[in-house]
Structure 1
Amino acid sequence: MSLQPASKEGPIEKLIRERITQALEPTSLKIINESHLHRHHAAMKGVTSVETHFRVKIVSEKFDGIRMIKRHREVYRLLADKMKASDGIHALALDTKTPAESIATQ
């Protein structure tokens, strides 16, 4: 099981980890904060949060039989309040797989 917390996990990253873990019971969860790569973008002007852009890789048995778009919608639903907040998540890149799909792509 790979549910590694980052060494400097901020409150939004922690919330992402908690909600996904609780709802999807992942066998693997990797959250990468890529906010520092986007600070210079025009849309980020005036934003003081250091947690705005994330890449999230989830492996969960709960994705079995569910199309990719529905998997992504479920994750967006879990984080909807933070995606709507002005100081919340601006961008979320998702990689959602079942354990079998994860093994097949290794």
Structure 2
Amino acid sequence: MTTEAPDPAPARSIPAPALRETADIWFDTGRDPVIVWDAEGRTFRLQDPRDATCSLHLVTYPAGVRSPAELAAALAEGLAACDFPPTADGAAAGHVASALRAYGISPPPG
């Protein structure tokens, strides 16, 4: 009998099942991804919920945001709606900015 390892996804994450196709292309793990953020609420990534090495950079702010979970939800929904094509190591800044603006959130400067 085999048991699955416990889910090591950090508490600073939200499910992003609508981004499964992107996750399947980049990670090929067969699991719905999550959007995770760092302790400061600055950096956001699309990540496999059980393997942190399978991740794709989405956006980094110069300082922590007020509501990281709200921003992560906007990224999850907004990027799924625009069917974003990632670059070699992350989401294109223009797609992220458009997704955030659609939810009334200012993208990071630069």
TM-score by length of 1: 0.29
Q: Choose between structure 1 and 2 for higher RCO, CA contacts under 8 A separated by at least 6 residues.
A: 1
TM-score by length of 2: 0.28
Task: Name whichever structure is richer in helix by fraction.
Answer: 1
